[in-house]
Structure 1
Amino acid sequence: MIELCMDFYKKYAAFNERLMLGDKLFMDRSAKGCRVGGRQTGDSRPVNFPRIGIYAGEGASHSWLWFVDMFDRMGFHDLVFLDATAIQREALAGIDVLAVSGGDTFAVAKALGPAGAGSLFKFISAGGMYIGSCAGAYLVMNSSKPGLNDFNFSAVKITNLSKALPNCRLLPHKFAMSYGCDYIFHPVREAVRLKTTVHSPCGVQGEFQAPLYGGPAMIAPDEAQVLATYEGFSPKTVFLVDEKFAYETLVGKAAALRSALGKGCLYLCGPHFEHPRFPAANAFLAEAIYWDNQYPAARQQTADCDLPLSEAESRSLLKDIKREVSNARISASSIELRPVRWLIGAKYYEPEKIMVFLQALWRRLTYLEKRGFLKATAERSSLLRRYAKETTALMRQLKQQVDQACDTCGAAENLFGLLQRFAITFLEMYFQTARTHI
C-alpha cells in the first residue's frame, strides 16, 4: 500500500500558503516519488497556485462537496463554484482547474448544452485542467448519444456497458441505467483496491483504495496514459453482481487516466478519488494538479472577495445560521435511517445525503466563529439567513411527511435544490474569509 505521513494535508496546506505569499516552488518526480521544494532542477516543473472551479450546477449530486472537503484540508482555498450558465458565459476563462464529480451525466450535459461544451473545449485546449470523477468522467467520453456527443473529448471505451444486463444481486435501484439500446451497469460499490502505474502523478507504483459509486472501468485510447488500474476488492466492497463477473469487468482495467487535449489535459477517474476518507487518492489528485497546472490563467490575485462585515454583524449572522442548521440537523437525523429514497432526475437520493450538506456547513462554523469576522455583502448575509430559515422549515415539512407516510418526492426535490444553493452561498463566504489572512 502507498504510505502517507500523518501530516500530508498540513504539508500541502503549507505549500499552498507559501505559493499564495509569492514563494516559488518546484516539483520533481522520480522513482522515489514526488518532491516539492524551493530549488529548481533540470526536470522539475514550477508549481502554480491554482484557481479551481467546482461544478455544482444542475445534475450535480452531493459529491461535489467531497472536492470541497479535500481542497479545504490541503489549503486549495481559491475556489469558484460554477453552474451551467456560468460555464456557458465563459467563467472558465478565469480558472486553472475544473473539477466535476458525480451526479446525473445526462442532466449535466443537457444543462451545459452545446454552448457549455464549446466553453469547456476552449478552456481545456488553451491549457486548462479537467478532473472528472464518476459522472464527470463519463461526460467527456466519446458518445453517439444526442447531448453527450457535444462532449466527445476523449476516445475512452468502458467495460461496464452491455446490451444485456447481468443478474443483479443487491441494490437494483443503484445497479444500472439505460444508455440508448445498451445499459451502463455498476458491478460493485464502496472501496476497491487500485494500483498506480509508472505514469501516475506520484511516480511511484503502489496500491491504494478509493470508493466506487457507479464510475466507469475504462480502456484507454492509444494517446492516453493509464495512471491507475483496478487491482481488486476490499473487505468493504459490496458486490452487485457475481464476484467473478465483477472481477472480469473491473480488474486490470483503467481506474484513472490522463488524456491530452490541445495544451491542456483531462484526468478521468472511475472511483471518487476526491472522497475525503481516502488520503492516498486525495494525494494522487493534489500531485496531479501541481504537476499539470502549467498554464495558469492570467490574473494578479485570487477571486474577488466581498468586504468584511463588522464583528458584531458577523457574530449575529453566524448565530442565525448555526441555530437553523442545528434545528435542521435534528430533523434530518430523525429520518436518516428510515427506509425511504427519492428519484430525482436519474439518481436516487437517501435521507443520509441531506446530512452531507448540513455537515458541510456545520463543521465550518467553529472556524468562522474563531476568525471573528466574515467576508460577505449585506445581500449575501440576507440570502444566507433566508436559506437557513427555509432549510429548517422544509426539513421539518419533509420529516412530517415521512412520519405520516405521505408522498415526499416533491418536498425532497425542493429540499435538495435549496441545500445546493445554501451550501454554495455559505462556502463562497467561507473561502473568501479563509483567504483573507494570506
Structure 2
Amino acid sequence: MVDDLQTSPAQVPPHLLNDPQFVQAAREHDFPMLFALAHSHGVSYYRIGVACGIKPERVSLIARGKAAITTLDTIVRVADALRIPGALLGLAARPWEDSTPKPHLESDDGDDPMNRRRLLRGALAAGLTGAALGALADTRQSLDLALTADSEPADLSDLEAAAETYGYGYHGQAPTQVLADIVGDFAELRPLLSTPQPVASRIRVCRTAGQMAGMTAIVLHDLGARRHARAWFATAATAAQESGDKQLLAWIWAREAMVPLNYGAPHAAAQLAEQARRAAGDSPTAAATLAAAVAARAYALSQQREQARDALIAADTFMERLDAGARADTWLTHGEQKHHVHLSHALTALGETGRARESQNRALELSAPTSTMTRSLLQIDAAACVRHDGDPEQACRRTVAVMAGLPDAYRTGLVHRRALDLYRSIPAHHHREDAVRELRDVLAA
C-alpha cells in the first residue's frame, strides 16, 4: 500500500530527536533503546510494528533485547516509520526529509524474504505502478548504499592498527593484560559490523575481526583455556570466511590446530593443520609455512614419522621463499624465530636431538629477552632432548629451573603442559629419583 510520507502512525515526538540518549542510540543502531524510548513517549509497539512492517510482538522482543534488527532494508523502514532523519542512522537523507513523496509497501514481517518477494510480485502484477516502482527503487537503493558509500567507519583504521600492534605478541606483558586489551578493542568492532558499510569497508572490518578473534584465541590457548580458545577460533574463522581472505582463514585453522597439538590430541591437530594447508594453497605464504610446520609437529607427536619429515621439508621450502613482509616477527606472519620454535618441537618429538638443538639455539638467539613464554618452551624442549639422550635426572633439573624462574602468570597453561609432557615421558622406574619427584611437586603446585 502507498504510505502518506508526511505523517506516520509511529512518528516519534520531534523533541525526542534532540534527546542525547535517543541520538546516541540511533547512531549506535541500538534498536532496543530506540523502541523503548519511543514507547515511553507514547508510541505503542503495535503502531511501530504496523508502520515498520514488523509484527508487533517482534517489536516488543526487540525492545527487550531478545531479537535484533540486522538487515539494511529493515533499518531503512524503521527510519521512515519513526521519522528518524537518515543522518542519525548512518543513511542517506530519506525522501520525506525533502517532502518528496515515495511509495511504501507494507509487509507482515519485514525480515521474511519470501514475504517481500510475494508482495513485490503482487505489486508488479498491476503493472509498473507507483507502488511497484517505489518497491524496486527501495531494493536497489539499499544495495547502492552498501556498495557506494564514500566514507569508511571513523574507527576502522585505528582498529586495524591496533590489530597489527597486538600481532607483535606479549613484549613482556602478562598474557591476561594483553587479553584484556585485545578483547576491549574487539568489542569496538561490533557496532561496525551491525552498521551498513561499503563492501570494501565490510571486508576490512571482517578481516580485522578475524585477526583480533584469532589473537584472543592464541592468548587463551597459552593460558590453558582450551575450550574458550576453540570458541574464539570458530568466531575468527567465521569472520575470515566473510572477508574472503583465504590466507587469514588458513592462518586461523593452523593456529587452532595448535590447541589439540599442545594438549594431547595430535591426530586431531594433524587434521586441522591439513585443512589449513589446503586453504593456504601451494604458494609460499606465511599461512602455508605455518600450516606445514604445525602439521610436522602433529605428525611427529603421533609417531607418523614419514609424514612429519615430509611436512618439515615443505615448511623449510616455503620458508626459504617467503618475502620480507611475511618473515616479520609477529603472530600474523612467520618469522625465522617462530619457524625454529616449531622445528624445535617437531625434531625433539622425532628424537633428532642434534637438529633440534640447532633450532633451539637459533630460536633463542632471535628471541627478545622479553619473550618469556617462547624462551621457556625452548628451554623445556632442550630438557626433553637431554631426557631423550638418556639423562632424565638432568632433564628434570633443567625443567624445574625453568619453572622456578617464571612469573606466576606464566606457570600455567602451555608452559605447564609442556613440562608435564616431559615428566610423563620419564620411565616409571626413575620416579623415585629426587629430581623427578621435585618436578612432580612443582607441577602439582
TM-score range, shorter chain: under 0.3
**Greater C-alpha Rg:** 2
Higher strand share: 1
Higher helix share: 2
Query: What TM-score does the superposition give when structure 1 sets the normalisation length?
Result: 0.24
Query: What TM-score does the superposition give when structure 2 sets the normalisation length?
Result: 0.24
